[in-house]
Amino acid sequence: MLVQKESPLKRNVAIFKIQAVYNEDDLLFVPTLSEVKDGIILHLKEGIRMISKRPPLGDEDKFKPYMSTFEEKEDKEESTKANPLKSLEDEKEMQEKIVSALDLSFTLLNEYRKELIPFIEIYRDHCKLDFAKLEGESDTRYRQWVEKFDRDKFKVKEGMEDTRLLRIIKVDASHLKELLLEKPTASRTKMAEIMPEHSQKIVVAMSGILADIAEKIVTNTNWEVDEYVTYKRFIDEQKKKTEEYEEAILKARSLQGIMNDSQMNIPAKNKKELDSLESKWKNVKDKLKSSSEAVDGKESLMKNILIKKGPEVNAKLKEISLVRYNTAC
């Protein structure tokens, strides 16, 4: 008894290969769907018939299921010679099966295209990045950006297939995948370049500020009134900026921490200079505290000196934010 074999056109065996490409901000398949369908309808049947009769130029295993179909059909040719109408019906049936298999492949191809769009969007997002704007971001935002770049790279690398078999069409997306991986990879590389630069820029700026402060701090507290007023204004100004200085130095340290956590290279010179900056800041803070205490300790004395000079110093007292002298008292 003859066993009815399953038609190879119902199996997932690819004999046509197309490329998934990204060109001019659009995802394309090359050849296009219409080009594939028109070409296949026109040439596929005769091409497979020819291949089934002579050694294939390509991989013979890929064509065996299709060759076997025609071989089975040729075994029946002797019996169909007496009935030409039957032979034509078989030809029509085969063509319908091929077209049906193609239509299903095209439906699957459209669905596959939708799967690729999120990977395309990742690429587009990275194309829009302006790294110059990152410099003013908080250290938290830096970490979020690095994590996003790593996450995007992982999504493309692990989530996107090199090839996809869609019934009788095989889509090669390997080159597209390489292209889409370039952007998140390049973005992370760029972050590894600019983060040490941004951190070091803070270190250099703060080193200059601290050097200037250290130079202006005095240990001699035998001030004249005008000297006292000027120095008190300086100390008060630095006290107000203490939090700003703290935040800047902490940001530089945090950026190096993010780089370390993300396995980015931190130049040894940068590490050393940040350590030195933190040490200088501790020293300056201690000196500012001592100077502030000295200034506060002299405040009553300076007020009394100004008060003895009479009402003409009223404006002076107001300017330096000491106790306003009221001549009516």
- 58 or 177, higher pLDDT: 177
Is it the case that residue 19 has pLDDT exceeding 60? Answer: yes
User: Of the ranges 47-56, 58-67, 297-306, which is most confident?
Assistant: 297-306
| Three-state SS at 164 | strand
Question: What does the mean pLDDT of the chain come to?
Answer: 80
User: Is there a cis peptide before residue 55, judged by omega within 30 degrees of 0?
Assistant: no
Q: What is the CB neighbour count within 10 angstroms for residue 79?
A: 10
| % of the chain with per-residue pLDDT over 70 | 71
Is it the case that residue 24 has pLDDT exceeding 90? Answer: no
What's the angle, vertex CA 86, arms to CA 85 and CA 89, rounded to 5? 90
Instruction: Quote the tokens at residue 167.
Output: 């019934």
> What order do you get walking across the sheet with 26-30 strand by strand?
26-30, 16-23, 169-172, 163-166
Beta strands in 235-319 (DSSP E): none
Can you tell me which residue has the tokens 């630069």?
197
Say what the pLDDT of residue 303 is.
76
| % of the chain with per-residue pLDDT over 90 | 48
Alpha carbons 36 and 39: distance in angstroms, whole number: 5
Among 48-52, 124-128, 292-296, the minimum mean pLDDT is found in: 48-52
Say what the pLDDT of residue 206 is.
97
Beta strands in the chain (DSSP E): 16-23, 26-30, 163-166, 169-172
- Give the strand pairing for 169-172 and 16-23: parallel
Please give the average per-residue pLDDT across 35-58, as a whole number.
60
Instruction: Quote the tokens at residue 280.
Output: 């200088």
Q: Please say whether the dihedral angle defined by the alpha carbons of residues 314, 319, 320 and 321, taken in this order, is positive or negative.
A: positive
The answer to whether the predicted template modeling score (pTM) of the entire model surpasses 0.75 is: no
Alpha carbons 150 and 257: distance in angstroms, whole number: 17
Say what the pLDDT of residue 81 is.
47
- 306 or 247, higher pLDDT: 247
Say what the pLDDT of residue 228 is.
85
Among 85-89, 236-240, 273-277, the minimum mean pLDDT is found in: 85-89
- Give the strand pairing for 163-166 and 26-30: unpaired
Measured N-to-C along each axis, helices 84-127 and 33-53 cross at an angle, to the nearest 10 degrees, of 130
Measured N-to-C along each axis, helices 268-308 and 225-261 cross at an angle, to the nearest 10 degrees, of 160
- Is there a contact between 27 and 117 (Cβ–Cβ < 8 Å)? yes
Q: Which of 118, 313, 111 is nearest to 229 (CA)?
A: 313
